Amino acid sequence: MMTAIVRRQFALAIAAVLGFSIWGGTAVAQSSAPQVVKVGLSSPFSTSEAQMGQDSLHGVQLAISQLKTLNPKVTYDVVQADDECTPSGGASAFGNLIDVQKVDVILGSACSGPTLGGMPLLPRAMIPAITFGSTNPAITQQAGVGGNKYMWRMNIDDSIIGTTFSKYIASAGVKTVAFLGYNNDFGRGAQAVYAVDLPQSGVKLIDSEYYPLDASDLRPQLTKIFSLHPDALLVFGEAKDCALLARQLHELGQRAKVFSRSACYDTEALKLAGDPNLLNGFVEATYWVGTPSQPMIAAYQQMFKVYPPYNAALAYYGMMVIDQAVRAGGPTAAGIERGLSAVNWRSAIGPIKFNDHNQAHPDLFLVTVQNGKPVLLKEVPTQ
């Protein structure tokens, strides 16, 4: 009976004779042309969240342009699908990428709802997917040993963020908080986390209000919230919502402390607010902020002539994680799935190594706005 070493040597000899190379334990035909990996990007490219999809696509495009030099053995082709930032949109987008586009791997979504809606399709197709921005804890609970081995998450989720952020809010002397968030899987998933974590840190959650993705007026929710006189607001949404919140707080003459998971420090929020100083003092817990250790920022500015929005940066790192998986396992769906479990990459936003629920633990960033500009308060390891 052949030993493992003998089998390996035999495979290498056969591969050499037949013109194959061994990549991640799999024989791959050698040729002068690079191997092609088809990446499906699931993100919102329509509705009020369309900017998230465009930002994500730009981040992927930057990563692919760099990988032409960093990994010339592989060519990455990206195709996109509009998931509309909804569960049904995610099911449709994942289905299109799997059955029509025939992708090797799915990157996305930036929204939790589409990821939860699309991930049940992965086991049937045996296609891996990795999200760079969805934060609902249910994704991790259902992934890996939770049942769906094909779903992976690069970014930290709200359960990871919630513990640290709740302690920070308590340390700021806050005793009562009102929650304001999206009426979707992102907002309601977050509320479920903080309804537990805030009291454990000594902070009482006194109200929870929700608003639709296309909200143009938050005053009804704010009026109810401030009738209860909370010490602070905890808000969940996107940059456009934070800008709207800042303007309407100013209009209502309210000066409550604001803690956010709404990209309130992002360039888009600062621009849409009209006066970026309206966001001064807001504190954001986030999985990305620009730091001097990230050369992708200058590269993004050179390619797109603007500072990278956070979805662009996260999609960039998500694409780089896919390349790490290809290097470890090979350029096929099965190879990428195998390679993801072997990824152990020290990225510029922290370590990317997946646990048995296919969840990575990069760093958490606490950011505030001072004089209309984002300022990093603290970078916190989450491993």
Rounded CA separation 363/359 (Å): 13
At residue 33, the pLDDT reads: 79
Q: Residue 209 in contact with residue 179, Cβ under 8 Å?
A: yes
35-156+293-362 architecture in CATH?
3-Layer(aba) Sandwich (3.40)
Pick from 228, 231, 226, 230: which is nearest to 171 by CA?
231
**Residue 185 pLDDT:** 92
How many helices (H) and strands (E) would you count in the chain? Answer: 14, 16
Q: Is the pLDDT of residue 14 over 60?
A: no
pLDDT of residue 347: 96
Residue that has been written with the tokens 């056969």 in this structure: 14
Query: pLDDT band at 16, cuts 50/70/90?
Result: very low
Give residue 281's region: left, alpha or beta (phi > 0; psi -120 to 50).
left
> Tens digit of pLDDT for each residue in 63-109?
999 999 999 999 999 999 999 999 999 999 999 999 999 999 999 99
What architecture does CATH give domain 159-286? Answer: 3-Layer(aba) Sandwich (3.40)
Q: How confident is the model at residue 31 (pLDDT cuts 50, 70, 90)?
A: low
In this prediction, residue 22 has a pLDDT band, given cuts at 50, 70 and 90, of very low
What stretches of the chain adopt beta strand conformation (E)? 20-23, 26-29, 35-43, 74-82, 105-108, 129-131, 151-153, 176-182, 204-211, 232-236, 257-261, 283-286, 344-347, 350-353, 364-370, 373-380
pLDDT tens column, 189-231: 999 999 999 999 999 999 999 999 999 999 999 999 999 999 9
The mean-pLDDT minimum among 5-9, 227-231, 294-298 falls in 5-9
**What confidence tens digit (pLDDT) does each residue in 243-282 have?**
999 999 999 999 889 999 999 999 899 999 999 999 999 9
**pLDDT of res. 383:** 79
| pLDDT of the residue at 346 | 96
Q: Express each pLDDT in 325-335 by its tens digit.
A: 999 999 999 99
Reported as a single tens digit per residue, the pLDDT across 101-143 is 999 999 999 999 999 999 999 999 999 999 999 999 999 999 9
**Residue ranges covered by each domain of the chain:** 1-32, 35-156+293-362, 159-286
Q: What is the pLDDT of residue 23?
A: 55
Average pLDDT over every residue of 153-165? 94
Q: What pLDDT is recorded for position 32?
A: 64
Confidence of residue 11 (pLDDT cuts 50, 70, 90): very low
Intrachain domains 35-156+293-362 and 159-286 with the same fold: yes
Strand-pair category, 20-23 with 26-29 = antiparallel
